[in-house]
Structure 1
Amino acid sequence: MTASKLYILDTNVLLHDPKCLFEFKEQDITIPMTVLEELDDIKDRKKTVAQEARFAIRAIDNILSAANSPTQITKGVRIMLPGIDRETPLGKLSIFPDHELGARQGFLPADKNKDNQIINCALHLQATNPHRDIILVTKDINMRLKALGAGLLKVEDYRTDQLISDLDLLPAGHQKIEGNFWDRIEQVDSYRDGDRTYHRVNREMLPHTYPNEYVYDDSKDFAARTISIEDDKVVLLDLGYSHLMQQNCWGITPITLYQAFAMQSLLDPTVDMCLLNGAAGSGKTLIALACALEMVIEQKRFNKIIVTRSTPPVAEDIGFLPGTEEEKMTPWLSSIHDNLEAMHEHDERPQSSVKYAIEKANIQFKSLNFIRGRSIQDAVVIVDEAQNLTPQQLKTIITRCGKGTKMICLGNLAQIDSNYLTALTSGLTYIVERFKGFEGSANVHFEGIFRSRLARYAEEHL
């Protein structure tokens, strides 16, 4: 029986989620030859998506290896789920030789324009399969507009890994209780464990809280963090508003309560991963770097600081830059140097202080290309510009963390540079939502901009 739908996948879908071939259930998938050519062009380059390209090619090969002849590849090979679910019925995967279409009336000019070639493939299949829904799936907004304008009836974004429908639904990592928290409490069980004070309150007071969410009220006295959720009770760690605001790391103290929450989670040894997101100039990098220096140099809890980020497309191949890997990455991690200079601007010899901090904390600038395959031990890993990473890329980085490693992801969902990511499909959004219930992860959304009044006005009005 022929599937009612035929999905045509663009290259960026396979790069965004190399496992997407198993996400279309009983419906059929076709991959234009042009897409395979693009994957082949990407897989050998030193790009952050090169591994995704290779993974996608292997997944396609594993499915098509069951074909008995080239004809079956063009007609379709049944997709089999790996592992114990192999009996689950899925659709067929085929390769469409779109290079044979040539120039046809009503088609887009395709000379050296691979997007047009893929759109033409979809238009041809729509014309020759009138009884099936032909659907082009692409992360490229402009390509979707072009396809609709060319007469393609159905074009979709790939949203299988999109966990929320609106950014307003993304957990902020903190919630405010109106009025005085204690005035609303009828019953509380308070106890101490070492130097920490805990409160067990009825869950109806905080029905939607989750592990490591921060809770505060209007009194500027109460501030706590949700530690665990029992059947009808919530256990809170009392932090104290004044104590939070008096924290000091490498000479940096928090300006806002949100920065104080972030600093508390960064310094807490029970939290393995901190996700800090917020507008440009809200202090994410400064707070993260100050805490990292404190933990490595002063507290000696870690041996080094590893800093990495998603480089702009023009610089994904860092090989053209001179010097070592750290020197090649320096232009793309200048924000780290800027914040180090800001922390030592009042020193007698600021540049010497910056150099001392880099050497003493063993700060290493690494390309994402060289993070893969490693097992990182006893280190603070700072991932800057995490909003430009796909869920698969962030998963690759997080799974590199070995024993005694703390992960810090920084990002601003309003500044996504990737060609096929949106705020809703960004890896940062995905990770924030996925780790919401994990007791070893804390998420804090920063509010307020402190870089300058110019930056604050620009963020609010542009």
Structure 2
Amino acid sequence: MARKRSKKIYVLDTNILLHEPFAFLNFQEHDVVIPMTVLEELDHIKDRNKDVSRDARVAIRALEDVLRDASPEQMLHGVALPLHGEQKVSGHLTIINDHHLKDELPGLPGGENDHLIINTALYLQRERSPQKVILVTKDINMRLKAKGAGLKLVEDYRTDQLIDDVRFLYKGYYRFPGEFWSQVKECQTEQKDRDILHLLERKLLPDAYINEFLIDEAESFAGQVVGINEHQIRVRDLGYERMMHRHAWGITPKNIYQAMALEALLDPNMDLVILTGPAGCGKTLIALAAALELVIEKGVYDKVIVTRNTPEIAESIGFLPGTEEEKMAPWLAAITDSLEVLHKTDEHPHASVGYIMDKANIQFKSVNFMRGRSIQNAIVILDECQNLSAAQLKTIITRCGEGTKLICSGNLSQIDSNYLTAVTSGLTYIVERFKHFPGSATINLNGVVRSRLASFAEENL
């Protein structure tokens, strides 16, 4: 079958389909090649008792939907992929039997699956020249081996990457140099209920986002953007000192970043609060204190669900004794540590922690068992979510039903996943995706408050 030279050929590794099962549909008019080794790996993974087995099954069904009516000859030459939106030219999906290619050219030796997939790309690079052949994999070592073997084009899968440099990630606040009011030329002020609102010129902050916090270097002003139109922004005056004296469950913020986080966490209109920042900046402690305040003191929610994910959890949780919550306890020690900090001055701290866990109905859940649930009237604290992909975070966020507040926290410098980086992490993805959503707020807690040792280590190690 003839191919236009402008078309590229993308050879997909297995981890791409595990990362996003429908990834093969996202290459527009270009051709996609799935080596037989990838299908075999998906087949082995789909029956494992792991979280990725679901993604393997979804990927297999998605491939079958496209190839269901194709003959063996059509599968070898390429089956047209479905068109999306205004797309006029379709790419083709091809299954290639890479086990027979070892006799076609000298590639990487041995029968390792990675080598077979790389050799497929090398074979296509030779046979389809000058058409560009690109191997797509999230395995960094495989990308290095492919280049070393002579493959000219190797890429990571970046369809879900919204920024190129994590330094440009939305922080959730804007700090004005100097003093805020000295930069304001026109302002209309009105009082609505208990709030003081300022109507300012849009050119003062042309890139403003809804719910973005505004502070200044002089520590004289703190506000929040509550409305945006073409010419003006509406800012709610929060009062710098008032914010610094807010408290939840007996704690007050140690810096303006914690104060902004507490403001967002206690706001009943915020369905999603995203907390980013280095280790020791108080993300977990602030989130837990606000959750206890809203559940026990104010009675806004019925319970607190705490969950997190680590690369090992899907494999290791089954070997730990006890119930699901008892199995999760080692992974959620940060939460119990924070509870102990909140009650360290009590006469019987250990008894207080047990009482509060029962009173607030705190439940420890594995993120692997969140699928299929519908969570109502609860606060969900998703800790360490820098290790989740965009697809995994979507699964959790869509579980949140009526009256549920989701708190996502994570540190992009502590990613443990083999296939995620700071720019491809699900945490980065939702920060960028939700910055226009009126029911969410993001705060980067810029400053370590754990200890001077932790602060020095964060800056210098």
TM bucket by the smaller chain? over 0.9
Aligned partners of 1:43 and 1:238: how far apart in 2?
Answer: 54
CA positional deviation for 1:456: 1.5
What does residue 73 of structure 1 align with?
75
- Name the CA distance, whole Å, in 2 between partners of 1:13 and 1:25: 16
Equivalent residue runs for 1:165-184 within 5 Å: 165-184=164-183
Asked if 1 retains the 8 angstrom alpha-carbon contact of 2:161 and 2:423, the reply is: yes
Scaled by the length of structure 1, the TM-score of the pair is 0.95
Question: Are residues 193 and 24 of structure 1, via their aligned partners in 2, closer, same or farther at CA, if it must alter by over 3 Å?
Answer: same
**Alignment of 1:22 onto 2:32:** no
Amino acid of the residue matched to residue 61 of structure 1? E
Q: CA deviation at 1:52?
A: 2.3
Q: Which residue of 2 aligns with 1:440?
A: 439
1:106-150 Cα deviation digits (max 9, x unpaired)? 322333x32222112212222332232111001111111110001
Equivalent residue, structure 1, for 2:453: 454
Amino acid at match of 1:101: L
Q: Name the counterpart of 1:100.
A: 100
Cα distance between partner residues in 1 of 2:199 and 2:66: 53
The runs of 5 or more residues in structure 1 that have no matched partner are none
1:127-276 correspondence to structure 2 within 5 Å: 127-276=126-275
Cα distance in 1 between the residues matched to 2:288 and 2:55: 30
CA offset at residue 298 of structure 1?
A: 0.7
Contact 1:31 1:95 in 2 (8 A): yes
Query: Which residues of structure 2 form unaligned runs of 5+?
Result: none
Preserved CA contact (<8 Å) 1:123 1:151 = yes
**Shift of residue 315, structure 1, vs aligned partner:** 4.5
Task: Give the drift of 1:314.
Answer: 6.1
CA distance in 2, matches of 1:379, 1:291: 13
The answer to whether 1:392 aligns with 2:394 is: no
Equivalence for 1:363? 362
Please tell me the residue identity of whatever aligns with 1:367: S
Cα distance in 1 between the residues matched to 2:263 and 2:14? 42
Q: 1:336-376 CA deviation, whole Å, 9 max, x = no partner? A: 11111111122111111111111111111111221111111
Q: 2:323 maps to which residue?
A: 324
Counting only pairs closer than 5 Å after superposition, residues 367-382 of structure 1 correspond to structure 2 as 367-382=366-381
Secondary structure of 2:34's counterpart equals strand
SS in 2 for 1:175: strand
1:47/1:317 contact within 8 Å kept:
no
Please tell me the residue identity of whatever aligns with 1:97: N
**Cα distance in 2, alignment partners of residues 259 and 137 from structure 1:** 40
The separation in 2 between residues aligned to 1:110 and 1:375, in whole angstroms, is 48
Classify 1:314/1:187 alpha carbon distance in 2 versus 1 (closer, same or farther; 3 Å): closer
Aligned residues: 458
Find the residue that maps to 2:147 and give its secondary structure. Answer: helix
Aligned to 2:3: 2
Give the SS at the match of 2:143: helix
Alpha-carbon separation, structure 2, partners of 1:41 and 1:351: 46
Call closer, same or farther: CA 1:157–1:87 in 2, change over 3 Å: closer
- Match of residue 408 from structure 1: 407
1:452: Cα distance to partner? 2.0
- In structure 2, which of residues 48, 54, 64 is the aligned counterpart of residue 45 of structure 1? 48
Matched AA of 2:82: M
Query: Quick one: distance in 2 between partners of 1:62 and 1:86?
Result: 21
Q: Which amino acid aligns with 2:196?
A: T
- Give the TM-score of the pair, scaled to structure 2: 0.95
- Amino acid aligned to 1:125: L
1:372–1:314 CA distance, 2 compared to 1 (3 A): closer
User: Matched residues in 2 for 1:273 and 1:106: separation?
Assistant: 53
Shift of 1:165: 1.1
Q: State the shift of 1:308 in Å.
A: 1.2
C-alpha deviation, 1:221, in angstroms: 2.5
**Distance verdict in 2 for CA 1:265–1:203, change over 3 Å:** same
Q: Classify the secondary structure of the residue corresponding to 2:372.
A: coil
**1:169/1:149 CA distance change after superposition, 3 Å:** same
After superposition, give the CA deviation of every residue in 1:206-258 in whole Å (9 maximum; x if it has no partner): 11111011001133221000001022110001111111111111111110100
How far apart are the structure 2 equivalents of 1:316 and 1:444?
Answer: 33
One-letter code of the match for 1:60? L
Deviation for aligned residue 1:317? 5.1
Structure 1 position 270, deviation (Å):
0.9
Moved more, 186-195 or 260-269: 186-195
1:121 alignment partner in structure 2: 120
Q: Secondary structure at the match of 2:29?
A: coil
Q: Distance in 2 between matches of 1:321 and 1:73?
A: 45
Are residues 219 and 415 of structure 1, via their aligned partners in 2, closer, same or farther at CA, if it must alter by over 3 Å? same
- Conservation of the 8 A alpha-carbon contact between 2:277 and 2:283: yes
1:248-278, Cα deviation, whole Å (9 max, x unpaired): 1111111010010000000001111001000
Give the distance between the partners of 2:19 and 2:286, measured in 1 at CA. Answer: 30
RMSD: 1.7
User: SS state of the match for residue 32, structure 2?
Assistant: strand
1:61-90 CA-partner distances (Å, limit 9, x unpaired): 1111130x22322221111147xx497432
Rate the CA distance shift 1:357–1:41 in 2: closer, same or farther, 3 A: farther
Percent identity for Structure 1 against Structure 2: 55
- Say if 1:314 and 1:285 are closer, same or farther in 2 by CA, change over 3 A: closer
Worse-matched range after superposition: 130-139 or 231-240:
130-139
Instruction: Please say if residues 82 and 90 of structure 2, whose CA atoms lie closer than 8 Å, have aligned partners that are also in contact.
Output: yes
Quote how far apart the aligned CAs of 1:387 are. Answer: 0.7
- Partner Cα distance (2:46, 2:260) in 1: 41
SS at match of 1:366: strand
Aligned AA (1:383): L
Structure 1 residues 364 and 152: CA distance shift in structure 2, 3 A: same
Instruction: Compute the displacement of 1:47 (Å).
Output: 3.0
Structure 1 residue 102: Cα displacement: 4.2
Preserved CA contact (<8 Å) 1:103 1:109 = no
